[in-house]
Amino acid sequence: MPIVTYRDALNQALREEMQHDDRVFLMGEEVGEYNGAYKVSRGLLDQFGPMRVVDTPIAELGFAGIGVGAAMVGLRPIIEFMTWNFALLALDQVVNAAAKMLYMSNGQFPIPMVFRGPNGAALQLSAQHSQAWESWLAHIPGLKVVTPATPYDAKGLLKSAIRDENPVVFLEGEMLYNTKGEVPEGEEILIPLGKAERKRQGEHCSVIAHGKTVLIAIQVADALAKEGINLDVIDLRTIRPMDVEAIAESVKKTNRAVVVEEGWEMCGVGAQVVDYIQRECFDFLDAPVLRVHQADVPMPYAKNLERAAKPDAQKLTAAVRKVLYLE
């Protein structure tokens, strides 16, 4: 099976969906001539031309609004933000237009569109360029929120997002573009939105993760397996809708849970997961549910402080040991 990068898997998904449906087009800053800020749209301008791969000015609110209007009249736009930190300028269109149009039009205007781009921290980009946006966006009824962790999931989820009849927020890990994984060649990959996946099988503790933190969870699971501690790693893949059944099935099996996320503690995705666990699995728990997350500070620029602020394998390992009463 071919090994491809996360960015190339996304490129395959875009190319295949633009071939599949001529209503699909890509719009954003540097998506055409420059082949995308992270080279995700490499080669698409040459293949599909400037009417379907549209370079824009630095005007997120403006081109997001054009995308909403295009979706209202039957096209299927993909709006690329160079980073979700810049998308803050376009949130009026994402939250007040795209998310609400179907409801406020009494079903007259479905909004089949995708807002996509890198999310979360990279390396030393400081506080204004290192934020994880999933909890903000998942708070909004009318949006679906997707956070793929692997190349396979990135391709399959993006293809499903493009075909969905609702606005989908697609959050790509900024540090994941160069990661590699198996992606089948010549095979249609469509991963349903709202379905989690078990990345590791175990019976001692559930670890619920999404996006970049899935790789941390897998790393910790593989390391602890050598000590005879087997973790059940659940990759949420979609934050909204969230696969509550998969979470409950895992926790009822292991009786312990740790939730790891890239964002802050207050009102984070992990808080929602813990709420589900205490409602659905309270009588099965043998220890309090713990959370691993970013420190409650704007992301520092200094390398040592940035490292201290981020969730990592050491912090997750300590949390797992604590719920197992090994520390």
Q: With bands split at pLDDT 50, 70 and 90, how would you rate the model's confidence at 191?
A: very high
Question: pLDDT band at residue 185, thresholds of 50, 70 and 90?
Answer: confident
- The mean pLDDT value for 16-29 works out to 98
Six-digit token pair at 84? 């979700």
Q: Based on the number of CB atoms within 10 Å of its own CB, is 78 exposed (0-12), middle (13-18) or buried (19 or more)?
A: buried
Q: What pLDDT score was predicted for residue 300? A: 95
Banded pLDDT at 327 (limits 50, 70, 90): confident
Within a 13 Å sphere around the CA of 254, how many CA atoms are in the beta-carbon half?
31
pLDDT digits (tens, 9 = 90+) for 64-118: 999 999 999 999 999 999 999 999 999 999 999 999 999 999 999 999 999 999 9
pLDDT of the residue at 285: 98
Q: Which of 129, 203, 249, 280 is catalytic?
A: 129
Common-topology check for domains 3-182 and 197-323: yes
Give domain limits for the chain.
3-182, 197-323
Rounded Cα distance, 287 and 256, in Å: 6
Class of domain 197-323: alpha beta
**pLDDT of 190 strictly over 90:** yes
Closest C-alpha among 239, 208, 210, 214 to residue 138: 239
* Options 3.40.50.980, 3.40.50.970, 3.40.109.10, 3.40.50.720; CATH of 3-182: 3.40.50.970
pLDDT value of position 222: 98
Helices of type H across 208-268: 213-225, 244-254
Q: Is 184 helix (H, G, I), strand (E, B) or coil?
A: coil
Give the closest residue to 115 by CA, choosing from 141, 136, 137, 100.
137
CB 13 within 8 A of CB 158: yes
Which letter does DSSP use for residue 262 in this model?
S
| Residue 129 annotated in active site | yes
Note the pLDDT tens digit of each residue in 123-172.
Answer: 999 999 999 999 999 999 999 999 999 999 999 999 999 999 999 999 99
Residue 321 above 80 pLDDT?
yes
Please indicate whether residue 293 is annotated as part of the active site: no
**What's the whole-number average pLDDT of the chain?**
97
pLDDT reading at 198 higher than 90: yes
DSSP letter, residue 175: T
List Cα–Cα distances, 194 to 119, 146, 268, in angstroms: 19, 8, 18
* Structure confidence at residue 15 (pLDDT): 98
What residues are paired with 77 via a beta bridge?
25
pLDDT at 73: 97
Task: Give the pLDDT score at 61.
Answer: 97
Predicted local confidence at residue 108, as pLDDT = 96
Calculate mean pLDDT across residues 247-271: 97
**pLDDT score recorded for residue 160:** 98
The mean pLDDT value for 227-245 works out to 98
Give the SS3 label for residue 286. Answer: coil
pLDDT at 1: 84
Catalytic residue among 29, 60, 172, 306: 60
- The rounded distance, in Å, linking the Cα atoms of 247 and 234 is 7
In this prediction the pTM is 0.96
